[in-house]
Amino acid sequence: MAKHRSSGRNATRRTQLIGLTAALAAAAGTTTVGLSSSATGPANASGSTGLNPSQAEALTAARIDRRDLGSRDASRIDLSLAATRKAAAETAAKQRAARLAANATLTQRRSLALAAAKAAAAKKAAANAKALAAAKEEALAKAAAIKAAAAPDIVLPTTGYHLTARFNQAGGRWAHNHTGLDFAAPMGTPVRSVMAGEVIQADFEGAYGRQVKVRHSDGTVTSYSHMSEFDVSVGDSVEAGTMVGRIGMTGNTTGPHVHFEVLPGGGSPIDPEPWLRKHGLNP
C-alpha cells in the first residue's frame, strides 16, 4: 500500500516536471522536448516528445502565441516605419512648399522691382523727351524771331539787273503803254517775292508768259511775268525774298527779264518805282 502511494506521487511529480519542461521549451522556442528514461521513465505512447495531449496542446498554443506576438511586433515595426516615412514625406513636402513659396515671393518682388524700374525709366525718358522738345521748340522760336528780325520787310524782285522799260512807257512792243518795270538779268536768275504774302496765281498767262501773283497783308498784289519756271504753287505762303521762279523769255518778250507790276487791292497796276521807294528801295 505504501509502495503504491509512493508510485503515485512519483507519477504526479513526473507529470508536473514534464508540464514545466514543456512550458519552458515553449517559452524558449524549443520544438522538441524529451526526458531521459532515467529521469522520467519510458516514453509514453503519444510520441517521441514525451508529452501527453494536454501538454502538446499547451506547447502548440505557446508556439502560436509566440508567433502571433512576433507578427504583432513586426506589424508594430512596419507601422512605426510607415509612420516615420509618412512624417518624413510630410516634412519634405512642407519644406518643398516653403521653398516654392519663398521662390514665388522672391520672383514677385523681383518682378515688382523690375516693373518699378521700367516705369521710372519710362517716366524719366518721357520727361527728358518733353524737356528736349520744349528746348527744341524754344530754339526754333528764337531762330524764327532772329530770322524775322533780320529778314527785310521788302526786297527787289531780282539781282544783277538793269531796267529796260519803265511804267507807262510807250512803244511798239506793247499794245498799250507799259504797265510795270522790266528787270533784265541773265537767264535763270532767281526771281523773288518783294514782300511776305500768299501765292494766288502760278500759271501761263498769254503774253505775260509764266506768271506768279502774290497777295500781301495790305491787299496789294505783286505780279512777276515771263519767267522760265515756277518755284511756288497757289496757296503757298512766302516771305520777302522767297524765290518764286527764274528769269526767262516766255510770252511776249525780246530778251530775258521779269516784268514786275504792283496792283493795289488787286486792281489796276500803278507805277512800281514810287511804291518801292516808299518802302525804302530804289530800283
What does the pLDDT look like over 40-90, one tens digit per residue?
444 444 445 577 888 888 888 888 888 877 777 777 888 888 888 888 999
**CATH number for 247:** 2.70.70.10
Answer with the one of 75, 93, 121 that is the final residue of a domain. Answer: 75
Domain of residue 191: give its range: 162-278
- At 129, the amino acid letter reads A
Percent of the chain with pLDDT over 90: 58
Give residues with Cβ within 8 angstroms of 142, minimum separation 6. none
Q: Is-contact 21 34, C-beta < 8 A?
A: no
What whole-number distance in Å separates Cα of residue 82 and Cα of residue 72? 15
Same domain, 71 and 167: no
Give residues with Cβ within 8 angstroms of 259, minimum separation 6. 180, 181, 182, 208, 223, 224, 225, 226, 253
Per-residue cell: 223: 505780279
Task: Give the residue from 188, 194, 199, 261 showing the smallest Cα distance to 229.
Answer: 188
Task: Give the residue from 169, 167, 243, 172 showing the smallest Cα distance to 212.
Answer: 243
166 in a structural domain = yes
Number of structural domains, the chain? 2
Per residue in 132-180, pLDDT (tens digit) is 999 999 999 888 778 767 767 899 999 999 999 999 887 666 557 889 9
Same domain, 166 and 70: no
Query: Is the pLDDT score of 9 beyond 70?
Result: no
Answer with the one of 27, 50, 75 that is the final residue of a domain. Answer: 75
Give residues with Cβ within 8 angstroms of 216, minimum separation 6. 195, 196, 197, 222
Task: Give the residue from 255, 245, 273, 250 showing the smallest Cα distance to 179.
Answer: 273
CA atoms within 13 A on the CB side of 238: 31
233 in a structural domain = yes
Task: Give the residue from 246, 238, 186 showing the smallest Cα distance to 217.
Answer: 238
